[in-house]
Amino acid sequence: MRSEEKSQLKKFSNRLQSFYANWSKHQSPEWMDAKLVVFCAPPSSRYRCAASSSGYQCDPDQDSLNLFEWLFREWLDDAYIVLSPTEIYAVCTDRNYDCSYNAKFLSSFADEAKKRVGVDFVVKGKDSGRTLRETLVAMANGFRRPMRPPGVKEKEKEMEKVVVGFIGDKAPEIELTKWMEWKDVTDAFCRLAGFK
């Protein structure tokens, strides 16, 4: 392994540890009690990356893209990542562009994530057919807990909502189930990464 790759893996493991430690310690109120955290890179991110390499500034509001660069030291294209306390689930394009990397690139971090943080890093290509909504519902299902106020019968109890935190200027444009809700955790990440 080249020294540059070793340095990249070391920085990834240190920052991933910092992310999980901060998320666990400050889950409320900073991380809005989020059980999952999602961030996305749109297909057009490669163009912003190309502009940046040409001397232009990338969109400062793209905090979700900033997380990719902060964590992996690279820009990614057409991808999303969902983090839970036990798993990192990534789905990305199988194609390569000049300023983006494919599923093979993300897979190179799997061993480090397991060794340093104890989480499974699952990477899928877009052709796997699993949508972001399906991923979120499947991962959030394990956090569902019944709410049963005093005097409420068992069959009338409601399910406590599972908070899904998002990093970026807006939540992904998908409709969650009624027992899930979006909350913006961008500020928590920016404070951790020193962006604000």
Domains of the chain: 3-193 (3.40.350.10)
pLDDT at 190: 92
In tens, the pLDDT along 116-133 reads: 999 999 998 777 667 889
Residue bearing the bigger pLDDT, 16 or 68: 16
* Of residues 83, 76, 73, the one with CA closest to residue 22: 83
Whether pLDDT at 96 is above 90: no
pLDDT at 196: 54
Q: What is the pTM of this model?
A: 0.82
Whether pLDDT at 183 is above 90: yes
pLDDT at 122: 94
Token output for 170: 């807006």
Mean pLDDT, range 88-113, rounded to an integer: 75
pLDDT at 47: 46
How far apart are alpha carbons 168 and 64 in whole angstroms? Answer: 5
The partner residues of 40 in beta bridges, in order of sequence, read 80
Give the pLDDT band of residue 50 (cuts 50, 70, 90): very low
Residue bearing the bigger pLDDT, 128 or 98: 128
